Amino acid sequence: MAQLSPTSRRARLRFILTTLLFLLAPPLGAQSAELPPAVTRALQDAGIPLRSTAIVVQGVDAEPALIRHNAMQAMNPASTMKLVTTYAALELLGPAYTWKTEALTDTPPHNGQPIGHLYLRGSGDPRLALEQFWLLLRQLRARGVTDIAGDLILDRSAFALPAYNPAEFDNEPLRPYNAGPDALLVNLKSLRLTLRPDSAKHAVGVIVETPSDDLRIDNRLLLSADACGDWREQIKTRVNVESIELTGNFSASCGDRALNLSPWSADVQVERLFRALWRELGGTLRGKVREGVTPANAQVLAVQESPALGEVVREINKFSNNVMARQVFLTLDGDRPATAEGARRRLKGWLADKRLKLPELVIDNGSGLSRSERISADGLSQLLLSAWKSPVMPELMSSLPLAGIDGTLKKRLGNSAAAGRAHLKTGYLDGVRAIAGYVLDSNDQRWVVVFLINDPKSRNGKPAMDALLRWVAER
Using one digit for the tens of pLDDT, what is the confidence trace for 357-384? 999 999 999 999 999 999 999 999 999 9
Position 91 scores a pLDDT of 98
Query: Residue ranges of the alpha helices (H) in 143-219?
Result: none
Cα gap 194→418, rounded to integer Å: 34
* Contact yes or no for 125/143 (Cβ under 8 A): no
pTM of the complete model: 0.91
Is the domain of 139 the same as that of 287? Answer: yes
Position 475 scores a pLDDT of 87
Position 111 scores a pLDDT of 80
Cα gap 368→372, rounded to integer Å: 9
Is the domain of 406 the same as that of 442? Answer: yes
25 phi and psi, to 5 degrees?
-65, 140
Residue 278: give its domain's CATH number. 3.50.80.20
Instruction: Establish if 86 belongs to a structural domain.
Output: yes
Position 8 scores a pLDDT of 47
Q: In what order do the strands lie in the sheet with 446-454?
A: 67-69, 53-59, 446-454, 432-440, 422-429
Residue 406: give its domain's CATH number. 3.40.710.10
Is the domain of 347 the same as that of 283? Answer: no
Is the domain of 434 the same as that of 340? Answer: yes
Using one digit for the tens of pLDDT, what is the confidence trace for 187-228? 999 999 999 999 999 999 999 999 999 999 999 999 999 999
Using one digit for the tens of pLDDT, what is the confidence trace for 59-88? 999 789 999 999 999 999 999 999 999 999
Q: In what order do the strands lie in the sheet with 118-121?
A: 289-291, 152-155, 118-121, 100-105, 299-305
Instruction: Establish if 182 belongs to a structural domain.
Output: no
Is the domain of 87 the same as that of 148? Answer: no
Is the domain of 149 the same as that of 273? Answer: yes
193 phi and psi, to 5 degrees?
-115, 145
Is the domain of 81 the same as that of 119? Answer: no
Cα gap 432→244, rounded to integer Å: 33
Total structural domains within the chain:
3
pLDDT at 2 over 60: no
Q: Which of 29-43, 285-299, 329-343 has the lowest mean pLDDT?
A: 29-43
Is the domain of 462 the same as that of 431? Answer: yes
Of all residues in the chain, the percent with pLDDT exceeding 70 is: 93
Position 62 scores a pLDDT of 78
- Average pLDDT of the segment spanning 317-335: 97
Q: Is 160 exposed, middle or buried (0-12, 13-18, 19+ CB in 10 A)?
A: middle
Is the domain of 370 the same as that of 450? Answer: yes
Is the domain of 322 the same as that of 436? Answer: yes
Is the domain of 229 the same as that of 199? Answer: yes
Position 21 scores a pLDDT of 36
Using one digit for the tens of pLDDT, what is the confidence trace for 409-453? 999 999 999 999 999 999 999 999 999 999 999 999 999 999 999
- Average pLDDT of the segment spanning 253-279: 97
Q: How many CB atoms lie within 10 A of CB 237?
A: 15
Cα gap 266→161, rounded to integer Å: 14
Is the domain of 225 the same as that of 257? Answer: yes
If residue 299 lies in a helix (H) or strand (E), which one and from where to where? strand 299-305
Instruction: Establish if 346 belongs to a structural domain.
Output: yes
Question: Mean pLDDT across the chain, nearest whole number?
Answer: 93
- Average pLDDT of the segment spanning 112-121: 94
Position 9 scores a pLDDT of 52
pLDDT at 29 over 70: no
In this prediction, residue 34 has a pLDDT band, given cuts at 50, 70 and 90, of confident
Domain with 208, as residue range(s), is 191-261
pLDDT at 32 over 60: no
Position 33 scores a pLDDT of 61
Instruction: Establish if 334 belongs to a structural domain.
Output: yes
Using one digit for the tens of pLDDT, what is the confidence trace for 221-252? 999 999 999 999 999 999 988 899 999 999 99
* Contact yes or no for 117/287 (Cβ under 8 A): yes
52 phi and psi, to 5 degrees?
-90, 5
Using one digit for the tens of pLDDT, what is the confidence trace for 377-399? 999 999 999 999 999 999 999 99
In this prediction, residue 98 has a pLDDT band, given cuts at 50, 70 and 90, of very high
If residue 347 lies in a helix (H) or strand (E), which one and from where to where? helix 340-353
pLDDT at 280 over 70: yes
